[in-house]
Amino acid sequence: MAATALKEQLNGLVNSMFAEGLLDEQFQQLQMLQDGSNPGFVAEVVTLFCEDSERILTELTKLMDQALVDYSKVDAYVHQLKGSSSSVGAQNVKLACIQFRQFCEENNKEGCVRALNVVKHEYYRLRSKFETMLQLESRIQAYENKQQN
């Protein structure tokens, strides 16, 4: 019973994330990829994404703090972030990244700083949801394991 409740909770969470535009169909694809053969796939990917993103965001913050911003570097990082976010289906982050890259191309520092903030904001919003989601999943996993035992 608890497992089904948790699952419902998880579904509700994911649905709300879709509804808010945090995620897109790519995330569904990811979910579809997860099956018996690799149970922790989504969790793995999401964790990877979070680690990667945090690293990139730290780098970006550093770069933007400098007096002379190396836009090519910034662009490369943003591109990476965009790639990983689109793979995960983190739609809002991806869109923010696209915006960011445009400012980058214009060498618009103010815009870049603003865009970085947007990206961060979106990312943190997503991360908190992801964290909840991962917790739920791990609890479901634990229940299932328990039942099996």
Q: Which residues bind another protein (CB under 8 A)?
A: 18, 24-26, 29-30, 32-33, 35, 37-38, 41, 44-45, 48-49, 52, 76, 79-80, 82-89
Calpha distance 125→128 (Å, rounded): 5
Tokens of residue 122, six digits: 């979106």
Asked whether the beta carbons of 100 and 115 are under 8 A apart, the reply is yes
C-beta closer to another protein: residue 91 or 103: 91
Least distance in Å: CB of 41 to another protein? 6
Q: Report the alpha-carbon angle 143-19-5, nearest 5.
A: 20
Least distance in Å: CB of 29 to another protein? 7
C-beta closer to another protein: residue 80 or 99: 80
Least distance in Å: CB of 110 to another protein? 26
C-beta closer to another protein: residue 2 or 105: 105
Asked whether the beta carbons of 93 and 85 are under 8 A apart, the reply is yes
Least distance in Å: CB of 120 to another protein? 18
Which residues, 6+ apart, have CB-to-CB distance to 74 below 8 Å? Answer: 60, 63, 64, 104, 112
C-beta closer to another protein: residue 3 or 43: 43
